[in-house]
Amino acid sequence: MKGAWLWHELATPDVGRSTDFYRQLFGWTAAPMPMEGPPYFIWNKGGEANGHGGLAQSGEGEPARWLVYLETDDVDGDYARVAALGGRAITGIMDVAEVGRWFIAEDPGGAQFAIMSPYI
């Protein structure tokens, strides 16, 4: 459904503290993703993946932040509409194999979000 919350991700300077906090608050578990580089994980609730997260990589003292992915069936059209409506695209449109087509944008007030058309 266009505009529906599709996915979310957390970038955090303290993976252990953050994952422990959301485990206690919501019962989420953080399943580590086996890959090179900084810690990366998939959030799970009741056996269902509901987001992902990892170590914030933007620099020393960078605060933790959430990014919400909103669903669309028209990534290219929404990319153009963001600027026409006073927002700005932060990234170009990206294709991620077996995942979807998406980009990150900012609304006129400065809030960042992603728009994604999943391949599912």
DSSP codes, 45-68: ETTEEEEEEEE--S-TTPPPEEEE
83 and 54 fall within a common domain: no
- For 56, other C-beta atoms within 10 Å of its C-beta total 20
Q: Would the pLDDT of 103 be above 80?
A: yes
46 and 81 fall within a common domain: no
Could you tell me if residue 99 is inside a domain?
yes
Q: Would the pLDDT of 57 be above 80?
A: no
- Main-chain phi, psi angles of 55, to 5 degrees: -70, 130
Which CATH number is 47's domain given?
Answer: 3.10.180.10
Residues of the domain holding 110: 72-120
Could you tell me if residue 66 is inside a domain?
no
Q: How far apart are CA 84 and CA 91, in angstroms?
A: 16
55 and 76 fall within a common domain: no
Structure tokens at 43: 């959030």
The reported pLDDT for the residue numbered 55 is: 87
Q: In the beta sheet, which residues pair with residue 44?
A: 29, 49
Q: What total number of domains does the chain contain?
A: 2
Residue type at 2 in one-letter notation:
K
The reported pLDDT for the residue numbered 60 is: 64
**Mean pLDDT calculated for residue range 80-103:** 94
**Mean pLDDT calculated for residue range 101-119:** 94
List, for residues 14-54, the tens digit of each pLDDT value: 889 999 999 999 999 999 888 777 878 999 998 888 899 98
Share of residues in the chain with pLDDT > 70 (%): 96
